[in-house]
């Protein structure tokens, strides 16, 4: 058996300790000198005898004990394991460096608390730490310019003004046409810039950095007239829904950090980022930001379409990422669910 340290380790200092983050395994640990030396030496595949030879000042027992612990933490990997394949995949394909990796992988599947518990915590917190102001006034500025306020709201302003998050939804269907509109006005490819020397660039109604269009849309359908329950992929070029999995999807709350209010929704649209698309063009890690920003553009168009139809598209970034990705059959180093829109009929008009 040959061993190597994981390539997905980020180290920082906390007081007088080195803190290691195994960003792929989402594990954090501090390491003693033995572990630190083992990790330093295991930069290439080495068998245990090679490691003993490279570390003559340490007893074999202490090396074996530390290696075992480091393997449990995913910091040292065995060449013939699935972890080695994943590590290799990460090193080869995540091109935006360790800092974006630490954020991207390290923030998957957070521990979400209910909205009620969250409010209770805030009621406590505000007693000790007041919230920063949530808007900035121009008070005192001698050069304030009063802007004309619009009194009438012709379209599209009216729809924009009506958009609201409304988590209380009736257990009623939406129509296939309404769902189709959500996709058409957010993700459908509406034009293509031909570039025979590099690659044709698809254009959509939402902007995309460099035209790389990292997002694919998926929908979990529960209650859509004219569409069987199931999990579907939206083909932006063909404007079709491809069946990923027929049959009722998991309860929506379970896909969305246990937000049970989503359970009565008609459908949930998931926006899935394909990071390899922008990575191919942009090697700087700032392109990670560009990619997540784009989800907001797409989601806003979906929200406005839903509003125009008298529906709601409740946004949520509290995702049960592992389960959602398993359900959509996506995932891996460069593909990830980023955002979801919970579509339904609002109880209040
Ligand atoms: C990026 C993003 C993530 C959000 N995530 C959640 C969420 O996880 N759960 C939720 O109930 N609402 C979520 N919301 C909705 C906000 O709570 C909501 O937009 C806010 O309360 C303002 O209400 P409005 O949308 O009616 O203007 C999210 C909104 C945004 C923009």
- CA of residue 341 to ligand 1 center, whole Å: 10
pLDDT, tens digit, 9 for 90 and up, residues 296-324? 999 999 999 999 999 999 999 999 999 99
Asked whether the predicted pLDDT for residue 349 surpasses 80, the reply is: no
Looking at residue 179, what is its pLDDT?
Answer: 98
Segment 240-269 shows an average pLDDT of 97
> 189: which 2 tokens?
């490819």
Q: What are the backbone angles phi and psi of residue 186, rounded to the nearest 5°?
A: -130, -45
pLDDT classification of 35: cutoffs 50, 70, 90: very high
Which tokens go with 46?
């080495």
The yes-or-no verdict on residue 124 having pLDDT over 80 is yes
- Cα(211) to centroid of ligand 1, in Å? 27
Inter-CA distances, 137 with 90, 142, 187, Å: 46, 13, 37
Q: Rounded distance, CA 318 to CA 120, Å?
A: 18
Q: Indicate the pLDDT class of residue 112, thresholds 50, 70 and 90.
A: confident
Distance 315 CA to ligand 1 centre (A): 5
Q: How far, in Å, CA of 330 to CA of 216, rounded?
A: 10
What does pLDDT average to over the chain?
A: 95
DSSP codes, 140-157: T-TT--PPPPP----TTH
Structure confidence at residue 111 (pLDDT): 83
CA-proximal residue: ligand 1, atom 27 (nearest): 164
**What is the mean pLDDT of the segment spanning 91-110?**
92
Q: How far apart are CA 130 and CA 178, in angstroms?
A: 43
Query: Whose C-alpha lies nearest to ligand 1, atom 19?
Result: 165
For 58-76, write each residue's pLDDT tens digit.
Answer: 999 999 999 999 999 999 9
**Lowest model confidence (mean pLDDT) among 87-101, 131-145, 277-291, 334-348:** 131-145
Q: Which atom of ligand 1 is nearest to the CA of 167?
A: 11
Domains present along the chain, CATH in parentheses: 2-93 (3.90.930.60), 153-346 (3.40.109.10)
Whose alpha carbon is nearest atom 22 of ligand 1? 165
Q: What is the 343 CA–ligand 1 centroid distance (Å)?
A: 13
Probe ligand 1: pick from 165, 263, 297, 307, max atoms within 8 Å of CB? 165
Quote the ligand 1 centre to 134 CA distance (angstroms). Answer: 15
Instruction: Please choose from 317, 343, 348 the residue to mutate so as to test ligand 1's pocket, defined by most ligand atoms within 8 A of CB.
Output: 317
- What's the whole-number mean pLDDT along residues 114-143? 92
Residue 139 has pLDDT above 90, yes or no: no
Tell me, in angstroms, the distance from the centre of ligand 1 to residue 270's CA.
15
Find where tokens 């180093």 sit. Answer: 333
Cα 316 to middle of ligand 1, angstroms:
6
pLDDT at res. 115: 87
Ligand 1 site, CB within 6 A = 164-165, 167, 259, 315-318
Query: Ligand 1 centroid vs 48 CA: distance in angstroms?
Result: 51
Q: Which atom of ligand 1 is nearest to the CA of 299?
A: 31
Q: pLDDT band for position 140 (50/70/90)?
A: confident
184 backbone dihedrals φ, ψ, rounded to 5°: -60, -40
pTM of the predicted structure, to 2 decimals: 0.95
């Amino acid at each position: 058996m040959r061993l190597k340290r994981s390539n997905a380790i980020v180290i920082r200092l906390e007081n007088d300790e080195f803190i290691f983050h195994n960003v792929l395994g989402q594990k954090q640990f501090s390491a003693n000198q033995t572990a630190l030396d083992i990790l330093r030496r295991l930069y290439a595949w080495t068998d245990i005898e090679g490691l003993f030879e490279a570390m003559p000042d340490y007893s074999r027992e202490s090396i074996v004990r530390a290696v075992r612990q480091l393997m449990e933490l995913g910091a040292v990997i065995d060449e013939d394991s699935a972890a080695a394949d994943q590590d290799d995949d990460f090193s080869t394909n995540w091109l935006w460096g360790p800092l974006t990796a630490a954020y991207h992988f390290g923030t998957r599947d957070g521990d979400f608390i209910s909205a009620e518990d969250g409010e209770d915590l805030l009621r406590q917190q505000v007693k000790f730490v007041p919230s920063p102001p949530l808007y900035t006034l121009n008070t005192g500025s001698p050069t304030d310019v009063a802007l004309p306020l619009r009194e009438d709201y012709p379209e599209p302003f009216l729809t924009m003004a009506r958009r609201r998050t409304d988590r209380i939804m009736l257990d009623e269907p939406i129509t296939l046409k309404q769902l189709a509109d959500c996709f058409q006005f957010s993700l459908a490819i509406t034009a293509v810039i031909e570039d025979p020397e590099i690659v044709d660039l698809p254009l959509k109604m939402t902007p995309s950095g460099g035209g790389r269009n990292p997002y694919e849309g998926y929908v979990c359908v529960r209650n859509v007239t004219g569409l069987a329950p199931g999990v579907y992929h939206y083909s932006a070029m063909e404007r079709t829904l491809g069946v990923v999995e027929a049959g009722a999807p998991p309860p929506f709350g379970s896909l969305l950090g246990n937000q049970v209010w989503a359970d009565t929704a008609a459908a949930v649209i998931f926006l899935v980022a394909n990071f390899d698309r922008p990575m191919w063009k942009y090697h700087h890690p700032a392109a990670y930001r560009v990619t997540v920003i784009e989800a907001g553009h797409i989601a806003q168009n979906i929200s406005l379409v839903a509003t125009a139809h008298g529906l709601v598209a409740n946004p949520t970034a509290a995702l049960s990422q592992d389960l959602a990705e398993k359900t959509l059959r996506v995932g891996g180093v460069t593909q990830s669910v980023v955002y979801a829109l919970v579509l339904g009929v609002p109880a209040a008009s």
